[in-house]
Amino acid sequence: MAHITILGGTGYAGRHIAQEAASRGHDVVAVARRAPEEQLEGVSYVTGDITDENFLQDLVSKTDVVILSVAPRGEMQGKVLDVAQTLIPLGLEAGVRLGVIGGAGSLHVSEGGPRLIDTEQFPDDFKPEAFEMITVWEKLQGSDESLDWFYVSPAAGFGAYNPGERRGTYRLGKDVLLTDENGASELSAADLAIALVDEIERPAHRRTRFAVAY
């Protein structure tokens, strides 16, 4: 059993990760600005400001794995990078594993092809948050070799606007966008959660990024 702390644990991805981890018997703490009215069984809730270094330090000191599952939009635009840069030295000092839920923008559309964010199809409205998460990934790559981290790039069609259903399956990739036989790149939050908790239980990606999709 691992002690897993999820920053953004009541959001779209975070809530599913918390549910999946708790269902497997892990000790799960979901962190958010406000506690949800409907709380998941087996999940503890902590409220606070993740931009507060002292708050983060206290969380990191009590866990085995920290998952950053916060999108840099709305009030958090421009702040997720700051949170990540605070987490990196804290995680290193405490010896915890750090996981980040990023985006698909940094994935290449084909082997040797452009990044998704550099194509005409990528919406301009999503570029600021995509670039911020790319910078988070770059900061992780430049961190001390002793820090154990992984960065997850879900499918291009991943999001609350396209929830999908739990299939219990997924495919893993590395730097190229995963698509199905019809060219679609999709993944439900429930299946992202399965992939992420699998990675926590059976670490296969140390200090690297991996893609997840159907």
Q: What is the pLDDT of residue 159?
A: 94
The 10s digit of each residue's pLDDT in 122-153 is 999 999 999 999 999 999 999 999 999 999 99
Q: Which residues pair with 161 in a beta bridge?
A: none
Chain CA centroid to CA 177, Å: 17
d(CA 173, CA 211): 5
d(CA 153, CA 168): 18
Tell me how far CA of residue 96 lies from CA of 3, 56, 57, 147, in angstroms: 10, 13, 12, 8
User: Are 158 and 187 in contact, with CB atoms under 8 Å apart?
Assistant: yes
Q: What is the pLDDT of residue 50?
A: 98
Q: What is the pLDDT of residue 46?
A: 98
The Cβ-side half-sphere exposure at 187, using a 13 Å CA radius, reads 31
Report, as ranges of residue numbers, the positions in the chain whose pLDDT lies below 50: none
d(CA 191, CA 184): 16
For the question of whether the overall pTM of this predicted structure is more than 0.85, the answer is yes
Q: What is the pLDDT of residue 113?
A: 96
The closest alpha carbon to 106, from 173, 153, 159, 172, belongs to: 153
User: Are 194 and 167 in contact, with CB atoms under 8 Å apart?
Assistant: no
User: Are 214 and 182 in contact, with CB atoms under 8 Å apart?
Assistant: no
Q: What is the pLDDT of residue 15?
A: 98
Q: Which residues pair with 170 in a beta bridge?
A: none
CATH for the stretch 3-213? 3.40.50.720
Q: What is the pLDDT of residue 210?
A: 98
User: Are 6 and 67 in contact, with CB atoms under 8 Å apart?
Assistant: yes
| DSSP label at residue 34 | S
The 10s digit of each residue's pLDDT in 67-80 is 999 999 999 999 99
